[in-house]
Amino acid sequence: MTDPGQLTNVADYESLARTRMDPAAWDYQAGGSGDERSLADNLAAWARIRLRPRVLVDVTSRTTATAAFGTDLPHPIVVAPTAAHRLSHSEAELATARGAAAAGALYTVSTIASVPIEEVAGAAPDGPRWFQLYAPDDRGECRELVERAVAAGYGAVVLTVDLPLAGNRERDVRNRFVLDLGANLAPDQPTDETGLVMGPTLDWDDLAWLRSVCPIPLLAKGILRADDALRAVEAGCDGIWVSNHGGRQLDTAISGADALPEIAAAVADRALLIVDGGVRRGIDVLKGLALGAHLVAIGRPVLWGLAVDGAAGVQRVIEILRDELSLAMALTGCRTLAEITPDLVAETAA
Ligand SMILES: Cc1cc2nc3c(=O)[nH]c(=O)nc-3n(C[C@H](O)[C@H](O)[C@H](O)COP(=O)(O)O)c2cc1C
């Protein structure tokens, strides 16, 4: 199957992307940390959840429309920040930005983008975009990154908080894979032996400081506990991104899907909630929304679309998930995202 027109689901893109990529780059993207238990569990967690569909609802007319911080979005599927898109395609994040914008998806651009964040913005000026921040130790540098993002029209800053040190990614160690830190960070950032940026000093004081200098909405990404989520909200975060970093940081860390209900109950409507990790079907998106997320993010699927077909592949992967979500809504009796309520999810024995 080499014709992108024949690819019907996200897994098809994964299979084809694998054949198009350098094996060490593939391992960097596909892999997790340690025994890759969180990586596997991210998929299993969505699969475990059973749905209780509502019937006899006229679902002829449905909408997946939503909004985030005042920006209207045609659907709740967000492109999660992933580093170094040049590994997947020569047009790197420029193609991702165009594909995401064409599919109406909010694109969270990584600090470790292969191209400057200003150029990513210029590739799809009208596309909604957020900036993911790996906070440099030096507050001056950190502030400069935030100012660049604001000047380039990024709508929010997403501070990643689950990477004090890089996870133990054994595929990369074996492959002697070294990540290129891309075009946005000063070259003197502390990294581990495979090139991953580290920020071991980052703490709640730094979050409070960042809040004080960040003039746009601020989210904390990589939160898995209700107490941390509440503390981040109290520190002024406008959003909480529930994530175990795609199974790449603490192995055996709880999945976003499993952490979400506790966090949604604690945070209630005080912050925007996003979940990611292992989302591969529109049904997973619907489950994330039912469990309390406002938006649901995808990491690797976008990279698979990018490797297969550049911007068009990114667009198609997102559209597949959007269409699957719309069908899942019809089959659960939901006409709007607001109707995707927690009672759609069955209580299951742990
Ligand atoms: C190759 C790769 C690179 C990533 N780079 C970043 C990054 O630069 N910043 C960040 O906050 N998260 C990063 N992540 C984590 C993603 O934002 C996201 O949490 C995760 O990929 C979601 O899981 P999924 O890939 O199963 O959809 C990365 C993930 C992958 C797979």
> 82 alpha carbon to ligand 1 midpoint, in Å?
5
pLDDT score for 2: 61
Beta carbon of 276 within 6 Å of any ligand 1 atom? yes
pLDDT score for 186: 85
Q: Measuring from atom 1 of ligand 1, which residue has the nearest CA?
A: 29
Structural domain includes residue 97: yes
Q: Measuring from atom 28 of ligand 1, which residue has the nearest CA?
A: 82
Is the predicted pLDDT of residue 42 greater than 60, yes or no? yes
Beta carbon of 81 within 6 Å of any ligand 1 atom? yes
Say how many Å lie between the first and final Cα of the chain, rounded.
Answer: 39
Report residue 1's pLDDT band, with 50, 70 and 90 as the boundaries.
low
Please write down the HEC assignment for all residues of the chain. Answer: CCCHHHCCCHHHHHHHHHHHCCHHHHHHHHCCCCCCHHHHHHHHHHHHCCECCCCCCCCCCCCCCEEECCEEECCCEEECCCCCHHHCCCCHHHHHHHHHHHCCCEEEECCCCCCCHHHHHHHCCCCCEEEEECCCCCHHHHHHHHHHHHHCCCCCEEEECCCCCCCCCHHHHHHCCCCCCCCCCCCCCCECCCCCECCCCCCHHHHHHHHHHCCCCEEEEEECCHHHHHHHHHCCCCEEEECCHHHCCCCCCCCHHHHHHHHHHHHCCCCEEEEECCCCCHHHHHHHHHCCCCEEEECHHHHHHHHHHHHHHHHHHHHHHHHHHHHHHHHCCCCCHHHCCHHHECCCCC
Q: What's the CA dihedral at 24, 30, 32, 37 to 10 degrees? A: -130
Token pair 């047009």 is found at: 91
Is the predicted pLDDT of residue 350 greater than 90, yes or no? no
Instruction: Domain of residue 86: give its range.
Output: 4-343
Beta carbon of 307 within 6 Å of any ligand 1 atom? no
Structural domain includes residue 350: no
85 is catalytic: no
Report residue 287's pLDDT band, with 50, 70 and 90 as the boundaries.
very high
Is the pTM above the cut of 0.95?
yes
Q: How far apart, in whole angstroms, are the C-alpha atoms of residue 23 and residue 7?
A: 22
Structural domain includes residue 330: yes
pLDDT score for 192: 77
Structural domain includes residue 348: no
Structural domain includes residue 88: yes
Is the predicted pLDDT of residue 251 greater than 90, yes or no? yes
Q: How far apart, in whole angstroms, are the C-alpha atoms of residue 131 and residue 129?
A: 7
Q: Measuring from atom 15 of ligand 1, which residue has the nearest CA?
A: 245
Structural domain includes residue 349: no
149: CATH: 3.20.20.70
Domain count across the chain: 1
Report residue 183's pLDDT band, with 50, 70 and 90 as the boundaries.
confident
Structural domain includes residue 17: yes
Structural domain includes residue 211: yes
> 231 alpha carbon to ligand 1 midpoint, in Å?
23
Mean pLDDT value of segment 214-228: 98
